[in-house]
Amino acid sequence: MTKVSLNTSSQNLSLQKNKYWAVIPAAGAGKRMASKIPKQYLPLAGKTVLEQTLNVFIQHPDISGIVLAVTEGDPYWQEIAANYNQENMTPVFIAPGGQERCHSVLNALKELTVHASDNDWALVHDAARPCLTGSDIDQLITKLSDSPAGGLLGLPMADTVKRCDKEQNVIATVERSELWRALTPQMFPLKLLKDALTLAIENKALVTDEASAIELQGLKPKIVEGQPGNIKITHPGDLQLAALFFANAQD
């Protein structure tokens, strides 16, 4: 596979001055949630899930702007779009969603190249993770800004892990000490990520996170330990968990 170039150490110094942008894929259908409307538009603590997610980045002082990937003609986004891009607000640019998450992210990265520099940082974050905190964004920025291959938030595996066959018979207990769950945001230099994702898709690797595309280039993204509350709303019960998170945050 063709390799994408990594910044040289002299360019690394300038990375610190580069801007930080959020890239939010929000064009999924939410099949596992099985709700009437896509899960990113379900109500959560007085707003939609997507609005709560956008707010975290809008309120963060280091984020220069946001690119949101939404399904073309998405009527739910149209209903709330007027709340954004008002005077003195962090800009929200729109890109078309794609077939899979990786296509939506790549579309958003292409839109971001219009507004950002090659070495600016893209923080890719699932719309379905509204419980992200500003301090997790702080951690990523502090710990990764000197790491040219970028990285991601993760959580060390807490439970004992089993490998099973299709009938759910346990085949093995997997050593968990080196296992982490990959969360978002995942933060990479814009051009590095765009090129890596383009190559992954060209090679028919429909990667489910950005780090996978970077790993396919032989690079080693770093994991920064995140907060366990940063859940991805996937199944119906997750929305109740997220609601609890917001109720506690307001106490």
Query: Where on the chain is the footprint of ligand CTP (CB under 6 A)?
Result: 25-33, 40, 69, 97-101, 104, 126-128, 232, 234
- How many Å apart are CA 181 and CA 148, to the nearest integer? 22
Look at residues 157, 145, 142 and name the one whose alpha carbon lies nearest to residue 120: 145
In the beta sheet, which residues pair with residue 188?
A: 122
- How many Å apart are CA 116 and CA 21, to the nearest integer? 8
- How many Å apart are CA 48 and CA 130, to the nearest integer? 9
CA angle 125, 69, 190 (to 5 degrees): 60
Cβ proximity to ligand CTP, 99 vs 169, nearer residue:
99
Residue 102, SS3?
helix
211 contact partners, CB below 8 Å, separation of at least 6: 150, 151, 152, 182, 186, 221
CB 251 to ligand CTP: min, Å: 27
CB 180 to ligand CTP: min, Å: 18
Cβ proximity to ligand CTP, 124 vs 196, nearer residue:
124
Q: Which residue is nearest to ligand CTP (CB)?
A: 28
H or E element in which residue 247 lies: helix 236-249
CB 69 to ligand CTP: min, Å: 5
CB 249 to ligand CTP: min, Å: 20
Residue 161, SS3?
strand
CB 210 to ligand CTP: min, Å: 11
Cβ proximity to ligand CTP, 76 vs 180, nearer residue:
76
Tokens, residue 245: 């998170």
Cβ proximity to ligand CTP, 17 vs 204, nearer residue:
204
Cβ proximity to ligand CTP, 27 vs 219, nearer residue:
27
Cβ proximity to ligand CTP, 34 vs 170, nearer residue:
34
Cβ proximity to ligand CTP, 62 vs 100, nearer residue:
100
CB 39 to ligand CTP: min, Å: 6
CB 193 to ligand CTP: min, Å: 15
Between strands 121-124 and 20-25, the pairing is parallel
Burial class (CB in 10 A: 0-12, 13-18, 19+), 71: middle
